[in-house]
Amino acid sequence: MIGVGVIGYGYWGPNLVRNLADMTTCRVAAVSDLDKKRLETVARRYPATKTYTDVRDMFKDPAVDAVVVATPVSTHFALATAALKAGKHVLVEKPMTETVDDAKRLIDTAAKAGRTLMVDHTFVYTSAVRKIRELVEAGELGELYYYDSVRVNLGLFQRDVNVVWDLAVHDLSIIDYVIAARPRAISATGHGHIRDSQENIAYLTLFFDDNLIAHIHVNWLAPVKLRKTLIGGSKKMIVYDDLEPSEKIKVYDRGVNVQANGEQAYKLLIGYRSGDMWAPQLDFSEALKVEASHFIDCVTNGRAPQTGGDAGLQVVRTLEAASRSIKEQGRPIELT
């Protein structure tokens, strides 16, 4: 049975520990956190789990085979590198690192150590996003035209990252998973309205080689919480509302048909198609549970993770380019 150590028991750590503790293929061997009060909570809820205030002691624990890094992004590279060099498999929260260079170095370290490196792109493990990918790969939508997302709410302001690195990272991981083509450039604008804080609102546009375009709107200062994505194609369109309790995905047989007008072929006739709407049946298993199970399976059987180091690198590359574009007032940045 795989022994897992979790670093960080703040916002996301308790959810990770809960899901790992419920699994029969692994056990939570240890939890490390700088806050002793948090560790006291761990000891009460999981008395068989060891606790450490010094993560180096946890790395030395032979009962820990794999490590989950659930700490601020500024600490990801150092902690994940140390864990890999200690012979541990690693699952690291999104974004994987602060820079592209660190992401590449982390991938190299994992390869040299012969250990699994996986990134916590949680939305990739939701049944809704998996269904969207299935529909896209099956050609149900036809040629993809656009991906248009709104991801806004009031808070939570992060101290170490701006709204792009906090919220847009979700859509970037979804785009990387669902769309086979990769963007060639990105343009981004944003602004911070709170004194001495980073950008709390931003707009990102990703450009692809074909007709596909992707737009992401993220905001920490919205009066309501919205998590809605529209994906349009030549055949059908999808509305994905993550806050919808049951019918998260709705597929619309709607769009436009363009035909030439007989002898005057240069005059195009545009007809509007309005067909049925259907909501596919989804499996509502908790995404974090699916992700944790996948991580343990990859560690146990040596499989490559669906959101491995390369996926983490792609997202960090796009985030880094978006930050640069914001500083240059929206100048498109090539993604190489």
Query: Tens digit of pLDDT for each residue in 266-304?
Result: 555 667 777 889 999 999 899 999 999 999 999 999 999
Structure tokens, 335: 């993604």
Predicted confidence (pLDDT) per residue in 88-106, tens digit: 999 999 999 999 999 999 9
Give 174's strand partners. Answer: none
The pTM for the full model equals 0.93
Residue that wins the pLDDT comparison between 155 and 39: 39
- Can you say whether the dihedral through the CA atoms of 326, 327, 329, 331 is positive or negative? negative
User: Looking at domain 125-284+317-334, which CATH architecture does it have?
Assistant: 2-Layer Sandwich (3.30)
Matching CATH number, 2-123+288-304, of 2.70.98.60, 3.40.50.1980, 3.40.50.720, 3.30.980.10: 3.40.50.720
**pLDDT surpassing 80 at residue 265:** no
Residue 88's contacts (CB-CB under 8 Å, 6 or more residues apart) are 5, 59, 64, 65, 66, 67, 115
Which of 78, 37, 89 minimizes the C-alpha distance to 55?
Answer: 78
Is pLDDT of 192 > 90?
Answer: yes
* pLDDT of 262 above 70: no
**Mean pLDDT confidence for 250-271:** 69
* pLDDT score of 156 more than 70: yes
Does the pLDDT value for residue 225 go beyond 90? yes
Domain ranges of the chain: 2-123+288-304, 125-284+317-334
Compute the mean pLDDT over every residue in the chain, rounded to the nearest whole number.
Answer: 94
User: What is the mean pLDDT of the segment spanning 145-153?
Assistant: 97
Q: At what angle do helices 100-113 and 76-85 cross, to 10 degrees?
A: 10
